[in-house]
Structure 1
Amino acid sequence: MTDAGTLEGARVRRVRTDGIELSVAELGDTERPTVLLVHGYPDSKEVWSEVAVRLAERFHVVLYDVRGHGGSTAPEPLRGGFTLEKLTDDFLAVVDAVSPNRPVHLVGHDWGSVQGWEFATVERTEGRIASFTSMSGPSLDHLGHWIKRRVRRPTPRRIGQLLGQGARSWYVYVLHTPVLPEIAWRGPLGKWWPGLVRRAERLPRGDYPGASLPTDAAHGAWLYRDNLRTRLTDPRDDAYAHAPVQLITPLGDQFLSERLYDDLESWAPQLTRRTLPDKHWIPRTRPDQLAAWITEFVTATEQGHRAPMAAGKHTDRFGGQLVLVTGAAGGIGRATALAFAEAGARVVAVDVDAEGAARTAESSRRAGAPEAWAETVDVSDEQAMEKLAERVATEYGVIDVLVNNAGIGLSGAFLDTTFEDWRKVLDVNLWGVIHGCRLFGRQMAERGQGGHIVNIASAAAYLPSRSLPAYSTSKAAVLMLSECLRAELAGRKIGVSAICPGIVNTGITSTARFAGVDAEEEKRRQRRTAKLYGLRNYPPEKVAEAVLRAVVRDQAVVPVTPEARGGRLMSRFAPRALRALARLEPPL
């Protein structure tokens, strides 16, 4: 067949039902659980191409063009040919053809999700659906009851919700006008739409939407005309899901308010909620994350239990996101990796210490990360970092949050600090950050969906000290680099934060180098410094909390400890006093 589109290697068949033919594509091993993907408006099954190829590694994946879309034929006449009852007939015909003896795991986006809610709540599909993942498309029955409750018992808040959703639904009114949508889609709008949606949604470039878009969109207008008025004015009272439901809500959806799902537990008792800081077309912008969540949900359902949910702070912000932390074997890096794991993020723990990175990855999985991996690399090695960036993008996806944490300590007078000392501290503390920002930041920018870079600087970046010239210089450079990158990348929706801890109880104190002294004296100073930091006992977990908070709030510079915050204020308002303090000999 020729209608497989961009689904390379797909097996395509025709399924006949109700006088029409549906184009059905299959990927993966048919002996494995079946995941059935249903597209929305004005799409075809090609909207799922990036998600489908990822799921096919684990499942039997099925996609079909809704009647009148893509390679499927349209009903005649169009009026009355797109009712939810007839769409349910199509769904059952496809399920009978591709998975006759086993229920399918249904996934829907936009109008595919609207249909999915119908499939998952009507009596005649019971036993045919193992689970349902919904995104960007409510049940019309649930929506009808949502509207009625707010009309019958209005409050200022409820009226605001109604007006807000009404404004978001402007396109629905247009699609109900006779003939005009068809003329627009088959004319200029069909030509302009790919560019418009790419810019508005920051979609990656490619061959989506497909050539069938004008016809798909013209036919799809009947989805609205045949169903909305009937269901919204007379919604079903028995629209209860008879399968576990996973709801994925993009928080930046310009068409649907997240408030539409406030009461969903009453309709779907086995509900798992997820959120994404993204816009409407997440099958194109977040295929890695969707594939990970669908895999987790389907696997849990197949095993007879609910998908595990992270219990930490900010799960609504970081759940399912891909986070890479350097220097993750211990200290602030380990604490940060675990904090993101507790928030439900997928974690890549990177360190030159392979065993330490592996331990952090394992702990991240226990802490709540749906997936966690360990990678070994020296951040100062440009070629090694390039290979890491390529491997991460290929195997795990483009990262959403980068934490450049790897660093080493160096203390000693400037005149005692050798060229080799300078090279080592700058290679790790500065060049390691530069490599991470350049390589992973470029991937974020090319994806076009934003992201966040966190660079761990230090209060030493703005607190001069006679004993830390090399270390302070490296961290001051990281701070300024962060400020410059923040300005440059703001237009690409990539945030940049510099975190400036003060005295934190981590392993860096026991491994810090001391210039100008012999080995015995260096060990004595290491023990003395570790003891002082231990007495201060400021835990790295508090720095990790500051990291997550900085990403959520998109903060530029974050002094963490009280001394770091006080020093930041003094650097602005009492710099002469700081310079005087810098002349004091450290108590070593």
Structure 2
Amino acid sequence: MRAESSTVVSGDVRLAVWESGDRTKPTVLLVHGYPDTHAVWDGVVSELSERFHVVTYDVRGAGASEPPQGRGGYQLDQLARDFFAVADAVSPDKPVHVVAHDWGSIQSWEAVTEPDAHRRIASYTSISGPCLDHVGEWIRYRLSNPTPHHLRQLATQQLHSWYIVAFHLPALAPLVWRLGLSARWGKVLRTLEGVKTTAGHPAATLSSDAIRGISLYRANMRPRLQNPRPRSTEVPVQVISPTGDHYVTAALAEGLERHVSQLWRRSLAARHWAPLTHAPAVARMVAELVDHIEGAPAAPELRRARVGGPKKRAFDGQVVVVTGAGSGIGRATALAFAGVGAKVVVGDIDLEAAERTALLAGLVGPPAHAYEVNVADEKAVQEWATEVAATHGVPDVLVNNAGIGHSGTFLQTTTAEWQRVLDVNLWGVIYGCQAFGALMADRGEGGHIVNVSSAAAYLPSKILAAYATSKAAVFMLSDCLRAELVTHGIGVSAICPGVVNTNITKTSTFSGVSAADQDKQRERVSRAYARRNFGPEGVAKEIVRAVWHGRAVVPVTPEAKVARLLSRLSPAILRRAARLG
């Protein structure tokens, strides 16, 4: 959809404005930062314009808008007047939903905290740009309460804000831009931010825009940080903090609830220029808040991000998916997460067993939901993931627990037996990681994947050829996946139980054993596991702890921990022990 351009006069400057979408729909007004133009929002506009009236503009001194005369024209009160001039022009009868980034956020905070701002502003989403008055108060509080934590926060933010000092040095910053930074800006964004564009800046104008924009820092930083004013608002505010931001730390949003009566605080697995690199995720977060303020129920992710209310349990509001949850470790894990507030979604090939788990989980936590799913069926897992996301929201935690047991030497194990074990124990985990991992990555708000492996992954045994191989593959898959998904803020844990008393022993199969003797073997193994007397609840407790602390590899039982240590210190001992069967 082609944007319509116009001009809005504010004081002594003309501001270039672009509008997309249906003017009868709620207006979303996007404000860019430094040294950007309105084009930084192009990807977000594309995502939002089908549902909303979307407006962007070049702030004074940037892009197609005129610059003011002198540094005083860049003061925040004048920038706030620009904002209201644009808002009045594009939506004279209804309040606008504001979304701002970087310096766009700083100047929008000035407008949002004006008296009666809630009459013109329906909601505010701020990305990587705090209110300078709030920052001044934030600094003062930490200097007057110099705990180690506060001092670390101050030092960390100071390191992130090195460029502000540079911008106040006479002639230095303009000289850097003139000497070629503008020509290299695209490379800077690609190297530091993973951005594939230059934020819409023609090289011919970037240098002059950036040099003029230095006045934003010089006109506002010192006065506001040294003499912060009380600035509160009744406007609903959503703060999005990119987890990899090189310039603005999430700590700056601490204590914001003292100034904002309705606050949502969210994280996005991105760097500073999130509107460029993560436009779909930014647009989704914006749409969730706009829809809610316009009257729709809050999306699960938005509801969870609300600040305030009664004290929450550790996983309150989070969606946790558990496979193989009809019994054993899966059921115990579902109950453990429900007990700490999670909304549990359970899947099992036995629907009746899954429904029983959901019923039990609902007794200790929020209502749970059961599905019949065969994890060895790729299409079924994909369809299940789609339905879960649509009905309950994208999961925050996935526990790939479904598995089957099998005993037999390599020469005894048939191809069909190998296929059955690998289909469930390995491919079931792969399918789960693919389907739900992609949803988590696209959402951009992090998450955690738990893959239930086994001590057999690093404890060789000649009678567990297929089973140990499948679990070793899950163990390595988890390591590979962890390296890939860390950039999306998604953790991955491999859980490695040893001998645990669960129903898996009653459904295990044995190579080289007649059909008549299968049940005898299962009974014998079940008795041995029962004597060990380590229940699935112990594994479930470790799974919850692994997610909470972000642990990578978790041996659970004592024998699993000893074997893990030996596998790292002296694997030859384990190889010799494997011959004993």
1:117 aligns with 2:115: no
| Contact preservation (8 Å) 1:285, 1:449 | no
Which residue of the partner structure matches residue 5 of structure 1?
A: none
Aligned counterparts of 1:262 and 1:214: Cα–Cα separation in 2: 35
| Contact preservation (8 Å) 1:110, 1:136 | yes
Please, what TM-score do these two structures have when normalized by structure 2?
A: 0.76
SS of match in other structure, 2:124? strand
Which residue of the partner structure matches residue 242 of structure 1?
A: 234
1:538 aligns with 2:536: yes
Aligned counterparts of 2:277 and 2:49: Cα–Cα separation in 1: 18
1:68 aligns with 2:61: yes
| Contact preservation (8 Å) 2:497, 2:560 | yes
Cα RMSD for the two superposed structures: 5.2
Aligned counterparts of 2:372 and 2:85: Cα–Cα separation in 1: 46
Change (3 A) 1:167 1:401: same
Aligned counterparts of 2:385 and 2:143: Cα–Cα separation in 1: 53
Percent of pairs identical after alignment? 48
274-283 vs 219-228, which deviates more?
Answer: 274-283
1:253 aligns with 2:245: yes
| Contact preservation (8 Å) 1:130, 1:301 | yes
Aligned counterparts of 1:305 and 1:492: Cα–Cα separation in 2: 27
Measure how far apart 1:84 and its partner are.
1.6
Which residue of the partner structure matches residue 272 of structure 2?
A: 280
Please, what TM-score do these two structures have when normalized by structure 1?
A: 0.75
Within a 5 Å distance, the mapping from 1:46-125 to structure 2 comes to 46-56=39-49, 58-70=51-63, 72-123=64-115, 125=117
1:308 aligns with 2:303: yes
Change (3 A) 1:92 1:455: same
Aligned counterparts of 2:545 and 2:184: Cα–Cα separation in 1: 44
Amino acid at match of 1:299: D
Amino acid at match of 2:314: K
Aligned counterparts of 2:186 and 2:218: Cα–Cα separation in 1: 24
| Contact preservation (8 Å) 2:542, 2:554 | no
Change (3 A) 1:447 1:135: closer
Amino acid at match of 1:568: R
1:138 aligns with 2:130: yes
1:37 aligns with 2:35: no
Measure how far apart 1:195 and its partner are.
1.5
Aligned counterparts of 2:120 and 2:509: Cα–Cα separation in 1: 65
Measure how far apart 1:240 and its partner are.
0.8
Which residue of the partner structure matches residue 498 of structure 1?
A: 494
Amino acid at match of 1:313: A
Aligned counterparts of 2:487 and 2:288: Cα–Cα separation in 1: 34
Aligned counterparts of 1:426 and 1:161: Cα–Cα separation in 2: 48
Aligned counterparts of 2:271 and 2:339: Cα–Cα separation in 1: 24
Within a 5 Å distance, the mapping from 1:466-481 to structure 2 comes to 467-480=463-476
Aligned counterparts of 2:345 and 2:323: Cα–Cα separation in 1: 9
| Contact preservation (8 Å) 2:329, 2:536 | no
| Contact preservation (8 Å) 2:407, 2:464 | yes
| Contact preservation (8 Å) 1:570, 1:578 | no
Which residue of the partner structure matches residue 196 of structure 1?
A: 188
| Contact preservation (8 Å) 2:269, 2:446 | no
Measure how far apart 1:258 and its partner are.
3.5
Aligned counterparts of 1:359 and 1:64: Cα–Cα separation in 2: 56
Measure how far apart 1:445 and its partner are.
11
525-534 vs 28-37, which deviates more?
Answer: 525-534
Which residue of the partner structure matches residue 173 of structure 2?
A: 181
Amino acid at match of 1:119: A
Measure how far apart 1:188 and its partner are.
0.7
SS of match in other structure, 1:475? helix
420-429 vs 301-310, which deviates more?
Answer: 301-310
Unaligned runs of 5+ in 2: 306-311
Change (3 A) 1:524 1:290: farther
Aligned counterparts of 2:483 and 2:240: Cα–Cα separation in 1: 32
Measure how far apart 1:374 and its partner are.
9.1
1:70-98, Cα deviation, whole Å (9 max, x unpaired)? 3x312342422222222222221222233
Aligned counterparts of 1:350 and 1:187: Cα–Cα separation in 2: 61
Give the number of equivalent residue pairs: 563
Measure how far apart 1:165 and its partner are.
3.3
Change (3 A) 1:123 1:339: farther
Measure how far apart 1:121 and its partner are.
0.8
Aligned counterparts of 2:297 and 2:544: Cα–Cα separation in 1: 31
Change (3 A) 1:54 1:186: same
1:263 aligns with 2:259: no
SS of match in other structure, 1:429? helix
Aligned counterparts of 1:210 and 1:328: Cα–Cα separation in 2: 53
1:184-234, Cα deviation, whole Å (9 max, x unpaired)? 33441012222123222334x346453254343233222222222332233
1:14 aligns with 2:7: yes
Aligned counterparts of 1:348 and 1:14: Cα–Cα separation in 2: 52
Amino acid at match of 1:265: E
Measure how far apart 1:530 and its partner are.
7.2
SS of match in other structure, 1:81? helix
1:157-188, Cα deviation, whole Å (9 max, x unpaired)? 65665454334322122223455434433441
Which residue of the partner structure matches residue 217 of structure 2?
A: 224
Which residue of the partner structure matches residue 429 of structure 1?
A: 425
Measure how far apart 1:335 and its partner are.
7.6
| Contact preservation (8 Å) 1:202, 1:448 | no
Aligned counterparts of 1:287 and 1:469: Cα–Cα separation in 2: 47
Measure how far apart 1:103 and its partner are.
1.8
Change (3 A) 1:388 1:128: same
1:251-302, Cα deviation, whole Å (9 max, x unpaired)? 4433234333333222123222223454322333444443343333333333
1:351-396, Cα deviation, whole Å (9 max, x unpaired)? 88999999999999x9899xx9999786576x99999999999xx9
Unaligned runs of 5+ in 1: 1-7
12-21 vs 155-164, which deviates more?
Answer: 155-164
Amino acid at match of 2:213: G
Which residue of the partner structure matches residue 557 of structure 2?
A: 561
Change (3 A) 1:161 1:413: closer
Aligned counterparts of 2:382 and 2:131: Cα–Cα separation in 1: 46
SS of match in other structure, 2:99? strand
Change (3 A) 1:583 1:402: same
Which one of the candidate residues 201, 206, 216 is aligned to 1:210?
201
Aligned counterparts of 1:295 and 1:398: Cα–Cα separation in 2: 16
Aligned counterparts of 1:379 and 1:202: Cα–Cα separation in 2: 36
Measure how far apart 1:463 and its partner are.
3.1
SS of match in other structure, 2:234? coil
Change (3 A) 1:160 1:579: closer
| Contact preservation (8 Å) 1:312, 1:339 | no
Which residue of the partner structure matches residue 416 of structure 2?
A: 420
SS of match in other structure, 1:224? helix
Change (3 A) 1:53 1:525: farther
SS of match in other structure, 1:309? helix
79-88 vs 402-411, which deviates more?
Answer: 402-411
SS of match in other structure, 1:85? helix
1:19-71, Cα deviation, whole Å (9 max, x unpaired)? 4333333444444333322221122223333334334455433332222223x
